[in-house]
Structures are given as C-alpha cells and as structure tokens.
Amino acid sequence: MSEAIYDEPSKEIPILVTADVVVCGGGPAGVAAAIASARGGARTVLLENQGCLGGIWTSGLLSWIIDAGNKKGIMQEIMSRLDRRKARIPSVWEDFTYDAEEMKLLLEEMCVEAGVTVMLHTRVVHAAVEGARRLSLAITESKSGRQAWAASIFIDATGDGDLAARAGCRFDLGRPLSEETQPMSLMALVAGLDPEKVAEYTMNGVSESPRERLLERMEKAGHRPSYASPSLFHIRDQLFALMANHEYGASALHASQVTKATMHARKELHRLIDGLRSLGDAWANIRIVNTASHIGVREGRRIHGRYTVNERDLLAGATHEDAICRVRYGIDIHSTNPEQGNGFGDDGKKSLPYDIPFRALIAADVDGLLMAGRCISGDFIAHSSYRVTGNAVAMGQAAGAAAAIAAITNVLPQHLNGADITKALQRLEETN
C-alpha cells in the first residue's frame, strides 16, 4: 500500500538573522563550538531542539564524563567552574560525575558571557544550498513557525548529522554492510540511597567490580537488565545516576523507533528500581527522581568528511599535522546484537591514543559546513572511541575557533591556514 501524500503549498520563510556562524545542536560539542566561535569575534547563533543546553549531559542526564582529563581550554574551564559550584565528583580515574541541573545553568552562563545568541526549542528541519555546493541557510521549526538562519559558516553538532544530511551530504550508519548500530540507553536519576552503604556499587572508584555487584543485586530482585553492565554514579548527597538499559535495533533517524525505545526503556528502569527497593536494607528507600527527557543515542549518521578517522588510526596511534584532539579512550562497542551478548567490548581490537585531524570535521560534499561531536567523519570502530563527550567538547572547540576565522576572513574551512587555527586554540586554552 502506497503512502498518502499531502502536497504542501510553497510559502515564504523569513530569514530571521544573518550571522557569521550558526551552530546547530547545543550538546557538549555545540556549546563548545558556539563559545569558541563567539570568543573568536564571530557573531554566533546556537540552535538547540531541547529546552536546555548540554544535550546528553543535561536533557540526557548522562552525569558521567569520559576522556576529558587531557582536553585543554573550554573542557577544563567547565570542570573548574563545576568545582567552584561544588557540582562535580572526580573518580579515582579521570572520569567524573556532575550535577546536571548545575551544568544547565553553567552552560547558559558561559554562552551569554561569550555573546552567543541562544535559541532553545528550535529544531533544524531543512537546509538550503546555493549553486552547486555552498550551504547558505539552516531552516528550523519552532513555536515561531518555520524560520531560516543565514551564516557564512555552519557547524553541525546535532549528533545525528541532521543539518549535513538535509544539505545533501553523504553519510554512513552503523556497522559496514549490516548497518547495526550501538543500542540507545535511557538514564535515570535516583535518590534515597546512603552513599556509604552503596559505595561498593558505584562507578566513582571506591571498589572493584561495581557493575558486577549491582547486576547481582538486580538479579537477586528477580530482574536481569537489558544492559549486562549496569552502572550507578554518585552525583551529590543522596542523588545518583543509573545506566542499566539497552534498546537494540532502534534507529536514531526514525521518530517512531526512538519513541518506542524511550517508552520501553522507562518501563524497564522503573521495574529495576522497584526490584531493588524490594530487597530492603540499603535499597529500601530508593526511588526514581527523573528519567531523561531524551534517550541517550550512541550512534547516528557519520557524515563524510575530507578525512575519515578509521580503525587503522586507532591501532597505529596515528598523529596528524592538523590534529585538533588527542583521543585516549579505547574502543567501546556496546553490543549491536543482543543474541551475541548485551554488554560492551572492543571486537578484539586494542587502540592506542590517536589524533583527530581537522580535515575530519570538514564536510566533503558541501562547502561552508563543519561537523563536531559524534557525527564527524569516521568509521564504525573509530566512532566507538571518539564519540565520548570529553572528545566532543574538544572537537567543538576546534570547529568553533576555525569557523570564526573562516567567517571573518571570508575563507572556506578547507583553505584555512593551520597555524591560525593553532593560535586560536592556544588562546582558548589560555582562558582557563
């Protein structure tokens, strides 16, 4: 049966603003890109679909930041400012937990201080390309209707590569051939726990094998989670974050599948917490305070760029002259097929620290477009490593600094002087 079609009448769309740089997506990569761009002297607009900045950090309640310790500049500034708010708990490793509500406020303050124009509740739905390949407009939908945003340079930090795809860029998705993607996970905040009594179950580093201990408790309560390595993170006081869910086979590109995954995940989380509470003792008062307003998506589009970060780079510990980020996190593939396990692994491959080159942030098919975060150009194996948010911030910082230079000097990103980008990044690193 063919789909019914509605032929929407054409209409004029107001171009709301002309900026130097428009950043689409206000997650860790997008916020860093917008701040870096504005600090570089560019008139910068940041468009975000959710009602807060931070993406997976805030609306996704991730609460755990990985591979941030060697990232200078904006990432270090965020860490320092969280510390001043007493809103961060370092682990015995370099990873750390943070208070998502404090993070929301901090990111807004940093954007306002930098002079970024922020628009929340605004989703990118289309793009306009001039001539053969120059991106000229990002088109959005919001309570204000359909609007267009003009800029000299655009940055796609949507995670799923929405702007790039709508501009006609090619992309890859999931594993080669099968296109199986890593599962989604819905985070939850839980309260009613005594930190000392559950310390051995948390990921903050005070005991060995906390995941295994937590799994044993859940199974004793009669429930085996869909994620075989459930993780509990201490945030502050009696507040914790829980990741215990895998949603397999759901595509981030289809709203119906994201909806089904979200509802299924929320039901599972409540069942798991009810089970833990039934154990009594340390778990007697555990309750869900909040589930994330957006399910955590590990994998969407990987947009084709002028370089593809690949498995060989990871295995060899590649270095690049145009490096903008050194990744130290290993290969981390959450099972793409529950019949082959429901944990995580590395497909039998071991990576070394490696560089992400600036070329991987430059769209191959459209001019005037950069990417930052998990939608940059990379293969399946590489993506499983660089996708974590400490790296996303570093990529955003580099994209924003480069975008400002490109816009102000009227030069396309691929023609920028590498030394100028390096100097701009050094200035950002010195701000902390």
Q: What is the pLDDT of residues 344-355, one digit of tens each?
A: 999 999 999 999
List CB contacts of 249: < 8 A, sequence separation 6 or more. Answer: 180, 183
* Lookup result for tokens 């593809």: 308
Task: Write the DSSP string, 349-417.
Answer: -----EEEEGGGGBBSSSBTEEE-STTSSB-HHHHHHHTSHHHHHHHHHHHHHHHHHHHHHT--GGG--
Strand partners for 327: 354
Does residue 60 carry a pLDDT above 60? Answer: yes
Residue 239 to residues 63, 141, 188, 268, 339, Cα–Cα distance (Å): 11, 36, 11, 20, 34
Does residue 204 carry a pLDDT above 70? Answer: yes
Tell me the pTM.
Answer: 0.97
pLDDT category of residue 206 using cuts at 50, 70 and 90: confident
Express as a percent the part of the chain with pLDDT over 90: 92
Q: What is the pLDDT of residues 213-254, one digit of tens each?
A: 999 999 999 999 999 999 999 999 999 999 999 999 999 999
Q: What is the pLDDT of residues 361-381, one digit of tens each?
A: 999 999 999 999 999 999 999
Boundaries of every domain in the chain = 17-177+299-430, 188-291
pLDDT value of position 132: 81
CA-wise closest residue to 56 among 251, 250, 296, 289: 296
Cα angle 300, 304, 306 (rounded to 5 degrees) comes to: 145
The domain 188-291: what is its CATH number?
3.30.70
List CB contacts of 83: < 8 A, sequence separation 6 or more. Answer: none
pLDDT value of position 432: 60
Residue 184 to residues 94, 100, 245, 248, 386, Cα–Cα distance (Å): 24, 19, 8, 7, 17
- Are 305 and 369 a contacting pair, CB within 8 Å? no
pLDDT value of position 18: 85
Residue type, 213: R
pLDDT value of position 91: 86
- Top-confidence range, 47-61, 80-94, 414-428: 47-61
Q: What is the pLDDT of residues 104-113, one digit of tens each?
A: 999 999 999 9
Two structure tokens written together for 168: 């006609």
Q: Looking at the domain covering 17-177+299-430, what would its CATH class be? A: alpha beta
Does residue 17 carry a pLDDT above 80? Answer: no
Residue 37 to residues 5, 71, 113, 282, 405, Cα–Cα distance (Å): 41, 18, 13, 48, 8
pLDDT value of position 429: 86
Mean pLDDT confidence for 137-154: 97
In the predicted model, what is the mean pLDDT of the chain?
96
Q: How many CB atoms lie within 10 A of CB 377?
A: 29
* SS3 of residue 226 by DSSP: coil
